[in-house]
Structure 1
Amino acid sequence: MSHFLEQRLAALGTTSFQHAIKGIRRGIERETLRIKPDGQLAQTDHAKALGSALTHPLITTDFSESLLEFITPAQTDIEVTLKQLTDIHKFALSHIGEERLWAGSMPCYISHQDEIRLAQYGSSNVGTMKTVYRQGLKNRYGSMMQAISGVHFNFSIPEAFWQHYQQLLGDTGSLQDFISAQYLHLIRNYKRYVWLVVYLFGASPAMCSSFLQGREPKYKFQTLGKGSLYLPYATSLRMSDLGYTNSAQSSLNISYNNLPDYIKGLRQAISTPSAEYASIGVKVDGKYQQLNSNILQIENEFYSTIRPKRTTQSGERPTCALKRRGVEYIEVRALDVNPFSAVGINAEQMRFLDLFLIYCLLEKSPDLSAQEQAVTEQNLRKVVTEGRRQNLELDDNGQPRLMLDWAEQLFADLMPIADWMDTAYGGDCYKAVIKEFYLGLLDPSQTYSGKLLSRLIAQQQDSPYYALSLAEQYRQQLAATDYQMYSEAEFEKMAEQSLAEQQKIEQADDLSFDQYLERYFADL
């Protein structure tokens, strides 16, 4: 452990810090495709019984009409979050007939990308904008990439902790500026070490060959079963560049060194024209093909493994919210769907992420130059495609370093943080997750990707077939589970209210869509 980290941890040993850290708030966003009993993509509309995808607080859709997204409100108790997520899954499954929820990150068999219907959000300007944005994504990158599912982990540190921490560091500026700067500090370290999260939790080493849609594969895939492709040492094909090939975006060099630079970089991308996207056209024969022809249509198009976030108000752009009110929480976006969980994530992963993110906050975090950021992305790409390969080397400050040696050091640094967290929360849950996931360093076949691929190869089973069998297993399991945090009546009321709210938004519109877009982007 570095002397710096040792000093920080010693200073956090007081009762006030241990009491404050118990207020960590977490939320989950889980994406999952609706599929038919035969494993093909569902072609039905978003069920009315699930409410409005535009306004429902817990159940919405992502890119396509069949890509559900389940959202839990921010909570301080991991078990409560998982119970809420379980209830949402149970309710959704009970209102989509014979359809199942796909149990993996890489999509099911899709014969053609036109099967992937764009998500619909009604006739309001805000709803239309969401669909046009997705039309732009389809025209820019194709729809197949957008059928990939993931899990996002939202994480915020309590204000009481920040107040004590600001005093400890002798910072005399505004509390919110301090909080924003510290979240960016955390994010820079996360970028440096996110490869460890992908090594442990990546769970997409194989995929259905239909994903390539006749494109020339970038990697030397091996075949499995009747139509599956895999890389023998891959951890997460979801996180690879198989789908997202935005050359314009790769040159953006968005800085995480401070909040003004981060905001400036994103705004520049939203207002910089792209010759490539201009060739698509914005409004063609009276129909919008994209929101604009700039490098990014909106902030959300910027693909990153982590985002600083602030809750937005109606019609407010994310960078405006960050500029006005600072960073409120962070969104971790590097998680594959965990196929070994009915809800795509488990408590052990969430506790490990607590430790990992606190480590990223406490350890030294110098500024990241564009060149250093490129190295972090190169390290991540290596672990994504060959993370379980023996003697894999990464770049550590310009020097080659064995990935497993580096991971050993990170685990050694996480252990005293686990001690500190267990003292704060009581029990030994945090030390237990360190021991559990350390097995993945001793034996790469014990990682999620290792376990999944071992099973597929041993049974010579197609990955989509296995995901379909899990989908059916979880459907039955969730049907037999009682509601724990919500009731059927509460879900029905939420659905009703969301539909009424959507109608209200549609009736309140007093601008044409052209005018609405102009106002939305006015400050640029």
Structure 2
Amino acid sequence: MPQRVEERLARLRDQGCINCLKNGLHGIEKESLRVTADGRIAMTPHPPALGAALTHPYITTDYSEALLEFVTPPFGSVDQTLAHLQDLHAFTAHVLDVQNERLWATSMPCVMGRDEDIPIAEYGQSNGGRMRHVYRQGLGQRYGRVMQVISGVHYNFSLPESFWRLFTGSQDPKVLRESRDTFYFGLIRNFQRTGWLIPFLFGASPAICKSFLQGASSHFESFDAHTLYEPWGTSLRMSDIGYKNKNQARLGISYNDLASYTDTLERATTTPEPEYERIGTQVDGEWRQLNANMLQIENEYYSFIRPKQPTRPGERPVQALRDRGVEYIEVRALDVSAFDPLGVNETQLRFIEAFLIYCLLLESPPLSESEEHEIDVNQERVACRGRQPGLKLLRKGGKTSLYGWTREILEGMEGVCQLLDSNHGHGKYAKALADQWKKLEDPDQTPSARILQTMRERGESFSDFADRLSNEHMQHHRAHPLPDESRARLETMARESLQQQAEREATEQGSFEAYVANYFSPGRASS
């Protein structure tokens, strides 16, 4: 175990950290594509029985009208989080039954038609709703619509106040906030350095339907007449065809501290990009994008991990972070787990929780430009070749084996898992860690390898494999006993969200152009 991790764990144990980790908060944002009975993207509007995507707190849409997003509130346990996510899936499954639609079981999408036919999400005629739609128009213009219907799972995590008081030895609110920001950014830097571990262990997108590339050439191999794949791939979703997008390679977002992060992110949202200027903002009276800057808004920046602070009405994320600091961490590196009906499972979440705490306790020097290059290379290498025997990663100017580096991390996490189990884990964290040791010793047990092996054994294309699991998962959700109280609550929330959207549209004043101008007015991102 690295010396600094052991020292900090010992200090927590000596200070009686019996319950200091018990009330950490866990939340999930999980995307799922709605598809038709024949495995094509659904062209129907967001079902009214699910409520209004603009105002429903738990069931919304991401890029496409067909791309559902399930959002759990933060809970004090992983079990509660997954139970809430299951209720949302069960409720949605019964609604989709009426339309003869299903939820797609994998991150990489179903058989795709033309890029321009993918329906962009609609949020009504309020200015806020229109802004969401135009932002997505811009994403389609910049990166293509097909890339935007890739699904993922985001895990939101925060440590409780009791931990920060013990860890910092302070009760002073100012000291606690500054320390929390400093250590969360240290966590983020270490996750950037070692986050390739997540696609190696949990990546579930080693193959894609050929239609995904829309006729473009690629370096992938043919699995069959309809499928492309990487033989040693783990997460093509996180490769340069997905969210590790080359268009954003020049942004230079810094994670060295809160100020540098917000400054560089703000610069990207205010600096014009010639390529996007050629697209135009309004053309013949139609909005193509919100602006022609490197990023339209902060959320356009794709990364493995983000610092987050909930925003208030009309507030920009940069402003929220500057004013109130980091409240939680959003991990964005998880593929939808194809073999799990919820797309995520308890073992994953417990391992990632322990991994995040390990990253927090580990020494975390600032990132240099050369190390940022190594991080980019390692993430792409593991996404496309993570299971390749003898694979080397870049580290501190040299090369090291993925196997050896993974051993080092898993060994370093043992003390963290012991502490979590002594708090509230009942051995579940040790088991989650043990499951990952098995994958390291036998990479054929990783989800990416299991997917390819299943496809070979059953003679399935990627789309056939995903289609079969989509049906099985929907049967699971239909059979889930949704309590009458939960069903009634979700039905009420759906009705109330539709009413809230209608009220916004009826009472709102001012033009859309003025609304956008005000949102981007100087000073809105600073305080």
Q: Same fold (TM over 0.5)?
A: yes
Match of 1:435 in 2: 434
Call closer, same or farther: CA 1:33–1:297 in 2, change over 3 Å: same
Instruction: Give the match's secondary structure for 1:255.
Output: coil
1:272-421 matches, within 5 Å, as 272-421=271-420
User: Sequence identity of aligned pairs in percent?
Assistant: 44
1:198 corresponds to 2:202: no
Change (3 A) 1:445 1:252: same
Q: Would the alpha carbon gap of residues 173 and 497 (structure 1) be closer, same or farther in structure 2, given more than 3 Å must change?
A: closer
- The 5 Å alignment of 1:38-437 reads 38-96=38-96, 97=98, 98-167=100-169, 174-217=175-218, 219=219, 221-243=220-242, 247-437=246-436
Note the C-alpha offset of 1:416: 1.4
Code of the residue aligned with 1:100 in structure 2: it is: R
Deviations 1:142-169 (A, max 9, x none): 101001000000001111111111118x
1-side partners of 2:308 and 2:494: how far apart?
26
Listed one character per residue, the Cα deviations across residues 114-150 of structure 1 (whole Å, up to 9, x for unaligned) are 2310000000000000000000001111101001000
3-state SS of paired residue (1:233) = coil
The RMSD of aligned alpha carbons is 1.5
Q: Distance in 2 between matches of 1:314 and 1:265?
A: 23
Give the CA deviation at 1:509: 1.6
Alpha-carbon contact 1:105-1:336 (below 8 Å) kept: yes
User: Distance between the aligned counterparts of 2:412 and 2:223, measured in 1?
Assistant: 39
Task: Decide whether the 8 Å contact of 2:12 with 2:166 is kept in 1.
Answer: no
CA contact (8 A) 1:79 1:347 kept: yes
Deviations 1:446-472, CA, capped at 9 Å, x for gaps = 011011111112223101111111111
Residue ranges of structure 2 left out of the alignment (5+ in a row):
none
Give 1:247 shift: 4.6
Per the alignment, do residues 185 and 31 of structure 1 end up closer, same or farther by CA in structure 2, a change over 3 Å counting?
Answer: same
Alignment of 1:4 with 2:4, yes or no, is: yes
Structure 1: tracts of 5 or more residues without a match: none
3-state DSSP of counterpart to 1:94: helix
Q: Give the distance between the partners of 2:128 and 2:261, measured in 1 at CA.
A: 26
**Within 2, Cα distance between the matches of 1:200 and 1:247?**
24
Q: Note the C-alpha offset of 1:358.
A: 0.2
Paired residues of 1:151 and 1:344 also in contact (CA < 8 A): yes
Q: Distance in 1 between matches of 2:425 and 2:393?
A: 37
Change (3 A) 1:453 1:486: farther
Deviations 1:80-112 (A, max 9, x none): 111110110011111122100000000000121
Amino acid at match of 1:107: P
Instruction: After superposing the two structures, state which structure 1 stretch, 118-127 or 453-462, moved more.
Output: 453-462
Question: Residue 174 of structure 1: CA displacement?
Answer: 2.6
CA distance in 2, matches of 1:242, 1:328: 31
Distance 1:265 1:479 in 2: 46
Q: Look up the SS of the partner of 1:184 in the other structure.
A: helix
Task: State the SS of the aligned residue for 1:26.
Answer: strand
> How far has the Cα of 1:287 moved from its partner?
0.8
Q: 1:206 touches 1:237 (CA, 8 Å); kept in 2?
A: yes
| Separation of aligned partners in 2, 1:173 and 1:158 | 16
Q: CA deviation at 1:172?
A: 9.4
Distance 1:84 1:485, change over 3 A: farther
Distance (whole Å) between structure 2 residues aligned to residue 72 and residue 309 of structure 1: 16
3-state SS, counterpart of residue 21 of structure 1: coil
- Partner Cα distance (1:432, 1:285) in 2: 60
Matches of 1:82 and 1:263, distance apart in 2: 32
Query: Per-residue displacement from partner, 1:153-203 (whole Å, max 9, x unpaired)?
Result: 0001111111111118x9995321211111101000000000111100000
Runs of 4+ displaced beyond 4 Å: 170-173, 244-248
TM-aligned CA distance change 1:75 to 1:10, over 3 Å = same
- Please state how far the C-alpha of 1:249 moved relative to its aligned partner: 2.1
Shift of 1:18: 2.8
Answer with 339-348 or 175-184: which moved more: 175-184
Superposition map of 1:10-25 within 5 A: 10-14=10-14, 16-25=16-25
8 Å contact from structure 2 (residues 15, 166) kept in 1 = no
Paired residues of 2:244 and 2:303 also in contact (CA < 8 A): no
> C-alpha distance in 1, partners of 2:136/2:31?
16
* Distance in structure 2 (CA, Å) of the matches to 1:484 and 1:189: 42
SS in 2 for 1:254: coil
Secondary structure at 2:408's aligned position in 1?
helix
For residue 118 of structure 1, give the secondary structure of its aligned residue in structure 2: coil
Q: TM-score, normalised by structure 1?
A: 0.97
Cα deviation per residue 1:393-417 (whole Å; 9 max; x = unaligned)? 0111112111001101111111111
Contact 1:234 1:385 in 2 (8 A): yes
Shift of 1:245: 7.6
TM-score normalised by length of structure 2: 0.96
55-64 or 112-121, which deviates more = 112-121
1:57-85 CA-partner distances (Å, limit 9, x unpaired): 10000000000000011001111111110
Task: State the SS of the aligned residue for 1:487.
Answer: helix
The amino acid across from 1:207 in the alignment is I
Q: Could you say if the C-alpha distance between residues 249 and 426 of structure 1 is closer, same or farther in structure 2, counting changes exceeding 3 Å?
A: closer
| Stretch of structure 1 that moved more, 448-457 or 294-303 | 448-457
Measured after TM superposition, the shift of residue 500 of structure 1 is: 1.2
Q: What is the CA-CA distance between 1:485 and the residue it aligns to?
A: 9.6
